[in-house]
Amino acid sequence: MAMGIGAGTAEAIISPPSGTLLLGPILPSTGVHDDLYARALVLSDGGAAVALVSLDLVGLSIGLSDEIRSAVRRRRPEVGTVLLLCSHTHSAPFTIPWSVLGWEWLAGAGRAWREALVAAVAGAVDAAFGRLCRVTLSAGRAPARVGTNRRLQTPDGVKMLPNPEGAVVPWTDVLRVDDDAGRTVVVLFSHAAHPVIVHGASTLISADYSGHAVAAVREHLGPHVVALFAQGCGGNVNGDPLRGGHEAAEAAGRALGEAA
């Protein structure tokens, strides 16, 4: 590619099958409320290339991260850096080393899904690289808040309880990618809050509020837009209301998506 910045994007559904253990309820899933996705954005200056992959997953073990990166580079050795961004939804499989339950599922009944996940991410990055076109990048920030601090100072010490006066990150940061015709084709946006508005309130697979935020961005800008969510530093910020269910997650997500 000649001088300038090129970008390409692609996405793939990565929802696991029913019966998958979910982190929030710590129970087998009973179906899919809304699909989980892997969404890839590849940026290149004609020499170096970087892939950013947004995943509707709670997180990744180091081993699984390495496996995904290796699969990407086998398909596209031109991509030197692969950044894996997990939304941290709790309505997803155990893909982090948090419980023996997760390891058992990934090594047993979930092995086929794990292999399909690796292939899906590598395929999405491959497809995104193949769609590189000249673009313009811009960035911005807008007020947004879907969470509440979860550390409260009490006479008995610090408790994990809602703290409305506690620290939060009340904004969304946005990277917009426009093609040569001035049409927005990609929006990468971040926010800092655990996607736990569904959490244990349902045994249905869901991207929680971040999935609804992506949907709102696409409704506003057009179905051709690929929107990627990046979880910020939400360590002690829970999506609000905790365990509020799918309708509450949709309301919070739509508000965040409109801000983005």
pLDDT score at 107: 83
- CA pair distance 154, 212, nearest whole angstrom: 35
Cα-based angle 252, 232, 260 (whole degrees, multiple of 5): 50
pLDDT score at 2: 44
pLDDT score at 96: 87
Supply 65's token pair: 């991260």
Low-confidence stretches of the chain (pLDDT beneath 50): 1-3
Supply 244's token pair: 């509020």
196-236 pLDDT tens trace:
999 999 999 999 999 999 999 999 999 999 999 999 999 99
Supply 47's token pair: 């020499």
> Phi/psi class of residue 66: alpha, beta or left (left: φ > 0; alpha: ψ in -120 to 50)?
alpha
Model pTM?
0.95
34-65 pLDDT tens trace:
999 999 999 999 889 999 999 999 999 999 99
The residues facing 86 across adjacent strands are 55
